[in-house]
Amino acid sequence: MIDGKPDRNREPMMRAGDKDGKGKLFRGLLDMIPVTVLLVRGNRLIFVNKAAEAGTGYSRDELAAMKYWHIVHPDHRTIVKRLAREVLKRKETSIRIELKIIAKDGAEKWVELLATCAAIDNRATIVASVMEITDRKKMEEEIRDHRDHLNKLVEDRTEEVRREAARRKEKEEQYLSLVECVPGWVWETDANFSYTYLSSSISDHLGYRPEELIGKGPLDIVPADEKKRLAPLMKTVTAARIPFVPFTFQVFHKNGSMVLVQGNARAFFDDAGNLRGYRGSARDITEERRALDALKEYQEEMAAKSRRLEEVNTTLKVLLRQREDDRKELEGRFVSNIREMVLPYLDRMRRTGLDREQQNYLDIVVSNLNEIVSPFLTTLGHANLTPRELEVATLVKEGKRTKEIAEIAGIAPSSVDSHRDAIRRKLGLNNKKINLRSYLLSLR
């Protein structure tokens, strides 16, 4: 029943075999099975046993009201629908799949679904059994995680062993090639600073064969003043049992010349902690020191030249500022001369009764003169503005609108517009798409 009405999909199964009582017996047997049994026809569940109620939390009536895929997890609905179509079309005689369902309480459960197609009441029907395998899945996942963990441990340990073997091999190769790779030569002394080993490359730098210096000490081939400086240092380092930091000293080449050497050393001990001697390396830095001295001299020379250039630049900047001031002064005089010595007489000429053609020519002359001097206008004072025009220009520069200027100046808005036009004409802005306020802000 669905909403009090008989479900046409469920009734045929419910009546199947009821005439001889076999249907009721069949359903009773299915209810005794602990595995969920489903009959699906179309999109509906037409029969479920009691195990389905226990496994999903839904009652039979609730399940009957659903489409069969509503209890399937969204991740698996598409494949379940596809497999159902294939079973009904006999493309698959049977299917077996593991999937997740969602119980009424929202719990997600893993199940194993076995399904086939049968003709019930002469209608194709999917017969399926569903067995919960959540615990098995969890166990499989735990086993898989444990196996992955063990594999990771084995891999890590194998990689660690491999790295250690590679490191030891690398160390051996480094040790064997150290003598040939270091710039200069390597050496070893006993606890009394007598050479017990010298690499053959010492002959390339100091001219001595190693056997010539075995049994001797570093102080045996240094000048007297260097021996006086180094002896206390070596005694202090030996007593403190600390490494020699890189130190520089002079030694005699076998040919008698002087070689500047930089060396370092580290003490080594026996298992009882007793000092056995020192191992170290040295290299000839004579040419390097000469290059450093030359570089230092060059840097000092460049610094002196840089200071002289800075002094020249300072002088040039002063001259440029003076030239800029002179240019501005010359431009100011030019504008003033035009405004004071030319334009006033043109204004007088305008009042001498000129005819229309002469008046037009005079306007062109005045306009062209304003055009000529406009690039040199750096202050409002150069613009030959009247006091009222200066007042209006100042208010425009402050961002005031025509109405606001009229109220402040006590004049009509039309008068403000007239003054604006006069200001633009005297600044040479007529017929130019230049904002008056922006231009005024650029002036000093």
pLDDT digits (tens, 9 = 90+) for 265-279: 888 998 888 888 998
pLDDT digits (tens, 9 = 90+) for 197-221: 998 889 999 999 999 999 998 899 9
- Phi, psi (5° rounding) for residue 399? 95, 10
Kindly compute the dihedral angle of the four CA atoms of residues 289, 292, 293, 298, in this order, to the nearest 10 degrees.
Answer: 160
Asked if domains 11-132 and 182-284 share a fold, the reply is yes
432 vs 320: which has the higher pLDDT = 320
**pLDDT of res. 16:** 42
DSSP 34: S
Beta carbons of 319 and 308 less than 8 angstroms apart: no
Beta carbons of 419 and 353 less than 8 angstroms apart: no
> Which contiguous run of DSSP H or E holds residue 224?
helix 224-240
Beta carbons of 276 and 190 less than 8 angstroms apart: yes
CA distance 382 to 377: 6
Using a CB cutoff of 8 Å and minimum separation of 24, what contacts does 387-390 make? 388/419, 389/419, 389/422, 389/423, 389/426
140 vs 14: which has the higher pLDDT = 140
Which whole number is the average pLDDT over 101-113? Answer: 91
pLDDT digits (tens, 9 = 90+) for 328-365: 777 777 767 776 677 777 777 877 888 888 888 887 88
CATH 3.40.630.30 assigned to domain 182-284? The reply is no
Q: What is the mean pLDDT of the chain?
A: 83
**pLDDT of res. 223:** 93
> Which contiguous run of DSSP H or E holds residue 23?
helix 22-32
Q: What is the CA radius of gyration of the chain?
A: 53
Contacts (Cβ under 8 Å, ≥6 apart) of 262: 246, 247, 248, 282, 283, 285
CA distance 101 to 70: 9
**pLDDT of res. 23:** 64
User: Which fold, 342-442?
Assistant: Arc Repressor Mutant, subunit A (1.10.10)
180 vs 121: which has the higher pLDDT = 121
Q: If we measure between CA atoms, which residue out of 148, 146, 166 comes closest to residue 156?
A: 148
Q: Give the right CATH number for 11-132 from 3.10.129.10, 3.30.450.20, 3.40.50.360, 1.20.58.1610.
A: 3.30.450.20
Which whole number is the average pLDDT over 14-21? Answer: 47
Beta carbons of 281 and 178 less than 8 angstroms apart: no
Q: If we measure between CA atoms, which residue out of 267, 264, 286, 266 comes closest to residue 275?
A: 267
Residues β-bridged to residue 195: 189
8 vs 159: which has the higher pLDDT = 159
Q: Is the pLDDT of residue 281 over 80?
A: yes
Token pair, residue 88, equals: 């009904």
Residue 17 pLDDT level (bands cut at 50, 70, 90): very low
**pLDDT of res. 2:** 35
- Phi, psi (5° rounding) for residue 163? -65, -40
**pLDDT of res. 6:** 42
Domain spans of the chain, in order of start: 11-132, 182-284, 342-442
Burial of 419 (0-12, 13-18, 19+ CB in 10 A): buried
Q: Is the pLDDT of residue 292 over 80?
A: yes
Token pair, residue 69, equals: 């895929």
CA distance 379 to 152: 83
**pLDDT of res. 179:** 62
**pLDDT of res. 142:** 92
Q: If we measure between CA atoms, which residue out of 274, 272, 251 comes closest to residue 263?
A: 251
Neighbouring C-beta atoms of residue 39, cutoff 10 Å: 22
Give the neighbor-by-neighbor strand order of the sheet with 44-48. Answer: 44-48, 36-41, 123-132, 108-120, 94-102
pTM above 0.85, yes or no: no
> Which contiguous run of DSSP H or E holds residue 55?
helix 50-56
Q: Is the pLDDT of residue 182 over 90?
A: no
Contacts (Cβ under 8 Å, ≥6 apart) of 279: 186, 187, 188, 265, 266, 268
Which whole number is the average pLDDT over 106-110? Answer: 91
Which whole number is the average pLDDT over 65-71? Answer: 89
Q: Is the pLDDT of residue 13 over 70?
A: no
Q: If we measure between CA atoms, which residue out of 373, 274, 290 comes closest to residue 331?
A: 373
> pLDDT over 70 for what percent of the chain?
89
**pLDDT of res. 380:** 57
pLDDT digits (tens, 9 = 90+) for 27-45: 778 888 888 898 999 888 9
DSSP 429: -
Which whole number is the average pLDDT over 94-106? Answer: 90
pLDDT digits (tens, 9 = 90+) for 141-169: 899 999 999 999 999 999 999 999 888 88
SS3 content of the chain, % helix, strand, coil (to 5): 55, 20, 25
**pLDDT of res. 15:** 44
Burial of 342 (0-12, 13-18, 19+ CB in 10 A): middle
